[in-house]
Amino acid sequence: MSEWRKDPVVDRWVIISTERGKRPFDYKEVEEKRKIQVCPLCEGNEKLTPPEIAAYRTVGTAKDSPGWRVRVVPNKFPAVKTEGEAALRQRGVYACMSGTGVHEVIVESTVHEPGLDTQPVAQVEEVIRMWRDRLLKLRKDKRFKYIHIFKNTGQAAGASLEHVHSQLIAMPMVPAEIRLEIEGMKNYREEKGSCVMCDMIRQETAEKVRVVADGEMFLCFTPFASRFPFETWILPKEHLHDFGAIRAEQLRELASVLRDTLKMITAAVKNMPYNLILHTSPVNQDEERIYHWHIEIIPRLTVMAGFELGTGCYINPTPPEMAAQSLREARESLLPDDMGVRGGEPACLTGR
């Protein structure tokens, strides 16, 4: 059984695999393990994963067989376990709780491709809809306080399977990153009376230098204090705290903006490794309407080292203004057919 442990000094939770821990020897074998012969996420190999939790499939096709377009399965090596109460136990100065949580894999295509950028916009739309559906489903479990949805693409970004997929971890606490964001948003609102993210959208739209794509409902830009080269955020222009409440037309535009952004990023640097992180309000507690949900795309060209780990500060060798320009230039280099075209109409990105 795994265990959540809390650092006694700072608000930092760690999932410790107490059950099947890795000894020094296991780390020496890492390279070997990467050479997987058969991909368990490919269409036709459904029996190689644990039983399916959810899927969008052609009517009449059976669970755990071909016919799906997006498929959700439990992580075969979950960091957390579904059973157990999320009750804090104190052991002297230390606090811990059982490793309660849910760890799911969202398979984003039937085909063995590494990136979401090569998928049609309609497919990306189904992926985002599945994120929403799983969020709505899992927050009915009152033990969970945050549903974390993310993607690791490329080895440097921590992907252990090449086949295009995202992950979901339901957690029994609000993690520090989200708590600190909420705190920052509250402080800003108290001081200025407005949402800092809404104000950022206004300033970015006016200044233009960091804008990558300006849609009707979403703004895509490289943040002023980008931690990583080519870091790119996508924000709904409307103040919305809850990704779970995304509307159909927003979902459609988001799919197009996200797909095209990933295309630009991978065009700028070939095989760019990146993490994609959905930031949304916590669940099952006082609603945090103050929050402004968004997506952060974090390319992993630099290594987080002793400076970053020790201070929480970052060194970014690519100014976001230069990154945005490079991404806009990358868009120019792509063929119109490459970009999000839906029903003959250019996607929001290409048209503006």
Please check if 42 is assigned to a binding site: yes
Residue range at the interface with a second copy (CB under 8 A); choices 53-61, 125-133, 232-240, 298-306: 298-306
Token readout for 302 is 């630099």
SS3 47: helix
* Of the candidate residues 86, 162, 314, 342, the single one contacting a second copy (CB under 8 A): 314
Identify residues 144-203 at the interface with a second copy (CB under 8 A): 146, 148, 150-152, 155-159, 167, 169, 171, 175-178, 180-181, 183-185, 188, 196-197, 199-200, 203
Told to judge if 165 belongs to the known catalytic residues of this protein, a careful annotator would answer: yes
Q: For the CB of residue 43, give the shortest distance to a second copy in the complex, in Å.
A: 25
326 makes contact with a second copy (CB under 8 A): yes
Q: Which of 319, 334, 341, 342 binds a second copy (CB under 8 A)?
A: 319
Q: Which amino acid is at 207?
A: E
- Closer CB to a second copy, 28 or 140, in the complex: 28
CA-based nearest residue to 73, from 98, 48, 37, 94: 48
User: Is 220 one of the annotated binding-site residues?
Assistant: no
How far apart are alpha carbons 103 and 66 in whole angstroms? Answer: 23
Alpha carbon separation from 283 to 20, 69, 192, 280 (Å, rounded) = 30, 28, 26, 9
Whole-number Å distance between alpha carbons of 322 and 299: 15
The answer to whether 163 is a known ligand-binding residue is yes
Of 74, 189, 224, 346, which one interacts with a second copy (CB under 8 A)? 224
CB of 276 to a second copy, least distance (A): 7
The answer to whether 6 contacts a second copy (rule: CB under 8 A) is: yes
- Contacts with a second copy in 89-118 (CB under 8 A)? 92-94, 96
Site for a second copy in 73-92 (CB under 8 A): 79, 92
Query: What amino acid occupies position 89?
Result: R
Asked if residues 204 and 269 have their Cβ atoms less than 8 Å apart, the reply is: no
Scan residues 26-55 and list those touching a second copy (CB under 8 A). Answer: 26-28, 30
Residue 259 or 294: which CB sits closer to a second copy? Answer: 294
Residue 104 · residue 75 · CB < 8 Å: yes
The verdict on 21 binding a second copy (CB under 8 A) reads yes
Note whether 249 and 128 are within 8 A (CB).
Answer: no
Task: Tokens for 203, please give them.
Answer: 């300033």
User: How many other CB atoms are there within 10 angstroms of residue 1's CB atom?
Assistant: 13
Q: Is 316 in the site for a second copy (CB under 8 A)?
A: yes
CA distances for 315 relative to 229, 231, 253, 309, 348, angstroms: 9, 13, 33, 11, 33
Backbone angles phi, psi at 216, to 5 degrees: -75, -40
With beta carbons less than 8 A apart as the criterion, state whether 233 and 297 touch.
Answer: yes
195 is in an annotated binding site: no
Task: State in angstroms the smallest separation of the CB of 248 from a second copy.
Answer: 26
Question: By C-beta, is 170 or 348 nearer to a second copy?
Answer: 170
Active site positions, annotated:
165
Sequence ranges of the binding site: 39, 42, 112, 163
Annotated binding site for Zn(2+): 39, 42, 112, 163
